[in-house]
Structure 1
Amino acid sequence: MKKLTKLIILCLIFLLPMSFLTGCWNSKELDQLSIVQAIGIDRTNNEQISLTSQILIPSAISSPGSSSGGGGTGRGSTGAQGVLILKSTGETVYDALKNATYEADRRIYLPFNKIIVIGEDTAKGGIAPLLDFFLRDPEPRGNTYILIARGNAEDIIRTTHRQESVPAKALENMITGTLNTSKAVEVNLHEVSIALADHTSDLFLTGIEMIKQEDQGQEIKKPKLSDTAILDYDKLIGWFNGQETRGMLWIRGEVKEGIIVVQSPGPDKGKVSLKIINASSQVKPEMKDGKLMITVKVKENGTIGEQMSPAANIDTPEYFKELEKRQERVIKEEIMAALEKGQKEWGVDIFEFGEEVHRKFPKEWKELKKNWGEEIKNIEVKVEVESNLRMFGKTTSPE
């Protein structure tokens, strides 16, 4: 009987919330909410919080040809395809968000927000206080992407897109689409919260900027993922380019796929594109005579994706071996570039070295962590790379 009672209670716990969700997305209720798709955070000259919010217009995206136009380039409320752009200010993020309702005339609704963009100058002052509301309030979701803008976040939020009626969706697709290069990163609110609570590793976030481009004879501005923002705990300290970003990801064991271009060993010196199939890494800290040393071992498996050297004898073991050496050299160069800037110059731990040291040397870590930002600069890091080419595709020659 007790088991039956417990079973009934469990069923009620799971079924009751579902009853509240049934039919919740009718048109009347949608019209009573301002459904946020993206938020930009900047600071004003007098240190107020400035929020630029991309609000969904359900009627604009459900009816073909009903886009409100507007371009999203003006001030105040402007239509931008399937969204409305609202700008509000306040003493805090929460205050600014509430102030947006004066213009929206509806309750701001955050569960479907996809993107939070923080302006470059604003990020230099620290992002932790700016994200506190989103981490504390139950509405925002942990899978929201966090980006740092080169310039103002407002410019990114006001952008339009030819193929997507909701620009935030285009930004989301850009983030997920560039992961196959391993030269860009994808970081969400949940991952940021873990890093901020850890105090061992430092943060890195997706960078984005507005670029000028010619389109049908006219100059337009459009967003582009731009490098990786590197933070000292929560303060923006600098940027990694694509090669440095991948160097960091090699160390962390987070390179999934991508292309490495090397010069062919053949007589005509054409280019060869080597496709990354998979990769792994090991970070091994050691203590020698009281001095901390770290060895990074990276193993990569790849294949020949393209070779532009007609005279190359691609199917010989010697050719493969030389390509592997050249690929190993590129990987090592990328890793060393990331270490030189991140470890030696900035003293940030975006490589999770502290976590590995803590795991292997817990007693020594108690002292090392007190001044880890300086300690990490003096660590000797040895890099070992092993690359293996498995195959050369369907043909041995480009002809």
Structure 2
Amino acid sequence: MKKCTLLLIIISFGMIMTGCWNRIELDEISIAVAIGVDQLDNDLFEVSAQIVLPRLLRHDLAEENATLVYTATGRTVFEAMRRLGSIANGRIFIGHTQVLVLGESLTRAGIYDVIDFFERDHETRGETLVMTSKGISAQDVLQTKSIADPIPAIHITSIIENSVNVANTRILTLHDFIDELNCPGCELVLGTIGSGTSDKPELIKDLAIEGLIAFDGDQSIDYLNPTETRGYLWIKGEIEGGILVIPSPGDKNKLLSMEILHIISEMDVKLVDNKLVLVVNIQEEGNIGEQQVTKDLSTPEALSQLEEEKNKLIRSEIGAAFFKAQKELQVDLFRFGQLVHHKYPKLYKEIEADWNEAFSNASVEINVETKIRSTGLISAPSVPR
């Protein structure tokens, strides 16, 4: 569907860009579907663009990727983009960019110097997904090929969007990314794209699109592991699905998979004996998706045990995210500062200059309520006779 839409857009350009005093002919532009920005050792910015080749979108050439990656350097992103236009087929059009990848080298150095271009340019697409590379360059990400879609950027975008089913990364659009970057007292957290099987993967199936990276200001400081990542998503209420694997009642060596169907997440702050407490309330509902024991777990007693195990797992994941933010990074990754500002403005004014320190020393209260809706199509599993 996305490929057909993109092809229609390309055709429409030929129709709407005629008869105008400032028209741009279709053969004078190159449509970028992905942009990557790396920072080189000489402080130059390296900008890569994955460009669509319309002639390769023909059905008889479906086995071949219909894109080509161009790369250019510049002292600024704008300068590098203009240089890209001199080696590609005309000016780079970014109005249909699916994903923007910020290279690891860039995020370590600081991203303020490059974001202005994407915020200022009138062609920028606010729904573009923003990720950062991990262990490889942004150019390496754009160079990976797809065996599932002739446009690799669309394949990557689909994987990112489907991550809601496993809750292993964060989906952030360019619009929300800029909003979060400019938010007073907020710290940026981005999803990562790394190498899953080799130092320089050739195919998208070899990429690892999972995990998060935390920022302090405009600089990335550390990665969140899978447990911390899902804990962060619980706190922020950004989980839409996923699987919880817990020990089976009566046999800790056997496992049980629970599907997350619905959650309600609420963040709050309160003062107890004049001390700040950070509060997270979670309500979760799910189904039994798989069990390894032959015991009937549909009884009220068994279901209560399962709900308690889910409760413990969710609490531990949230606790891991808090420990990472408070004790290791000492940075408020969750926007609790905003809650304090709105609820206790006088207090926040007193501690605003040292908010991260206050955040790191605050107590945490985690309240989790879980419920099992059903056991699927069966109650008790099949038992060998």
Give me the TM-score of the superposition, normalised by structure 2.
Answer: 0.89
In structure 2, runs of 5+ residues without a counterpart are 1-11, 19-23
Aligned length: 362
The separation in 1 between residues aligned to 2:59 and 2:296, in whole angstroms, is 58
Q: What do residues 84-134 of structure 1 show as CA deviations (whole Å, max 9, x unaligned)? A: 111100010001000111101401101001111111121011122211101
**1:133 matched to 2:130:** no
Picking from 358, 361, 365, the partner of 2:348 is 365
**How far apart in 1 are the matches of 2:369 and 2:263?**
10
User: Does structure 1 conserve the Cα–Cα contact (< 8 Å) formed by 2:281 and 2:367?
Assistant: yes
Contact between 1:250 and 1:280, CA under 8 Å: does it hold in 2? no
1:203-218 residue pairs with structure 2 within 5 A? 203-212=188-197
Aligned equivalents of 1:137, 1:52: Cα separation in 2: 17
Match of 1:356 among 320, 323, 339: 339
What fraction of aligned residue pairs are identical, expressed as a percent?
Answer: 32
Deviating more after overlay: 263-272 vs 352-361: 263-272
Question: Quick one: structure 1 residues 326 and 87, their matched pair in 2 at CA, closer, same or farther if it must change by over 3 Å?
Answer: same
How big is the shift at 1:66? 7.5
RMSD: 2.2
Answer with 249-258 or 185-194: which moved more: 249-258
For the residues of structure 2 that align with 1:220 and 1:108, how far apart are their CA atoms?
Answer: 25
1:44-82 CA-to-partner distances (Å, cap 9, x unmatched) read: 121001111111101111352287x6xxxxxxxxxxx21
Say if 1:105 and 1:315 are closer, same or farther in 2 by CA, change over 3 A: closer
Where does structure 1 lack aligned partners over 5 or more consecutive residues?
1-19, 70-80
Report the alpha carbon displacement of residue 290 of structure 1 after superposing the two structures with TM: 3.0
> Any conservation in 1 of the 2:84–2:91 contact (CA below 8 Å)?
no
The list of structure 1 runs, each at least 4 consecutive aligned residues, that deviate by more than 4 angstroms after superposition, is 218-221
1:369-388 paired onto structure 2 within 5 Å = 369-388=352-371
Show the counterpart of 1:153.
138
Is residue 199 from structure 1 mapped to residue 184 from structure 2 by the alignment?
Answer: yes
Q: 1:219 to 1:121 in 2, by over 3 A?
A: closer
Q: Does 1:23 align with 2:15?
A: yes
The answer on 1:51 being equivalent to 2:35 is no
- 2:75 aligns with one of 76, 91, 106: 91
Give the distance between the partners of 1:104 and 1:383, measured in 2 at CA. 54
1:179 to 2:179 alignment: no
Greater Cα shift, 300-309 or 219-228 = 219-228
Name which one, 1 or 2, has greater alpha-carbon Rg. Answer: 1
- Residue 66 and residue 163 in structure 1: after superposition, are their counterparts in 2 closer, same or farther (change >3 A)? closer
TM-score normalized by structure 1?
Answer: 0.86
Q: Would you say 1:259 and 2:243 are equivalent positions?
A: yes
State the match for 1:323 in structure 2. 306
How far is 1:308 from its partner? 1.5
* Secondary structure, counterpart of 1:390 in structure 2: strand
User: What is residue 391 of structure 1 aligned with on the other side?
Assistant: 374
